[in-house]
Amino acid sequence: MIRPPEYVSAIKPYVPGKPIEELERELGIKNSVKLASNENPVGPSQKAINALKGSIESLNRYPDGGGYYLKKKLSGMLDVDEDELILGNGSNELIDIAVRTFLTPGDEAVMAKPSFVVYAMAVMAQGAKAIEIPLKDFRHDLESMADAVTEKTRMLFIANPNNPTGTINTKEEFDRLMQRLPDHVLVVVDEAYYEYVTNPEYADSVKHFRAGRDVLILRTFSKIYGLAGLRIGYGIAKKDIINEMNKIREPFNANSLAQAAALGALDDREHLKYSREINEQGKRYLYSEFKSLGIEFVPTEANFIYIVINDSQAVYEALLRQGVIVRPMGPQAIRVTVGLPEENKRFIEALRTVIK
């Protein structure tokens, strides 16, 4: 039997959750609530849905391989050149493309732990080494991450806000990091939850891109725009970085329905505002309930909350039997997505029952 390289065999595959219908069948429950994947509970914009419907009849044609119209709209909104943008099958694909473009076996990439698991998986799949720096107070320890950079370091990943803790790094911290990093390091700033952030001290990654630094900023339509099922994201970087990534990017990687829906979503600012308001209301409610229950949690700038709790696997399984699906995050934490008001109440009722 053919065997992969050892560095591929060492990767622990990402374990997706089961479909809701299958969980309900296995557990004998109905009307369960999924709060495990950081999806927008409001759903997509009606403008995105209308744009999607208008594109269905042209499915016999390949998508626009260059993403002309979507990049043109993003260019105007972000005040960047179109050749400073790259589209991906979700920002996940762009992480993989960046790693395959700039890392070789034996190189190193610095990242936080816990953070988005795909960083380490992509790096290891390339035969490079993932240098994981523990969080400090649930936040990226950027000083220690900078200390970990060596001559072998080619990439440094920052999830801002971080998944799974929902914390951010500030302008001052990020500026100090950029001052310390040598020119041979590409900084990948994953801003999947960028639109949810309300803290005015949130780091300004675009400033460093405009200053000519080697920064790749990743954003997505999967979260606040509610298009997770279509897999569409984009990256912002200098033209020469984008040019190199386009050599690795698969043709037609952003499908036609995703591009159409993303264009529609960008036209609906009210949907964006409403989604953010629902999230803020949900956060306030959940914070209050956690405090009344004596549960430790990490205040978030995203659409999910990291809860510190003993026997998290047992809590997760008990919540499942109550019809509430969350995400276990190791032995002492679970992550719960902020849902609609009725979903949040359902979760709190189930959690109260489980704790008792």
Query: 158-168: per-residue pLDDT in tens?
Result: 999 999 999 99
Q: Residue 66: what pLDDT?
A: 96
Look at the chain and count its residues: 356
* Distance of alpha carbon 352 from alpha carbon 107, whole angstroms: 48
Q: Domains of the chain by range and CATH?
A: 6-43+270-355 (3.90.1150.10), 46-266 (3.40.640.10)
Tell me phi and psi for residue 210, to 5 degrees.
Answer: -65, -25
> Measured between alpha carbons, how far is 97 from 11 in angstroms, rounded to an integer?
18
Please name the residues in contact with 302: beta carbons below 8 A apart, sequence gap of 6 or more: 38, 161, 163, 166, 193, 196, 197
In whole angstroms, give the CA distance from residue 232 to residue 254: 6
CA distances (Å), origin 216, targets 17, 219, 236, 242:
29, 10, 6, 9
Q: Give me the pLDDT at residue 30, please.
A: 81
In degrees rounded to 5, what are phi and psi of residue 329?
-130, 65
Query: Where does 249-296 have alpha helices with state H?
Result: 256-266, 269-293
Low-confidence ranges of the chain (pLDDT < 70): 17-18
φ, ψ of residue 188 to 5 degrees: the values are -100, 115
pLDDT of residue 69: 98
| C-alpha–C-alpha distance, residues 287 and 307, integer Å | 10
The tokens of 346 are what? 């359902």
User: How many Å apart are CA 332 and CA 272, to the nearest integer?
Assistant: 33
Would you call 290 exposed, middle or buried from its count of C-beta atoms within 10 A (0-12, 13-18, 19+)? middle
Pairwise CA distance, residues 233 & 239, whole Å: 18
- Which 8-state DSSP code applies to residue 155? E
Whole-number pLDDT of residue 24: 79
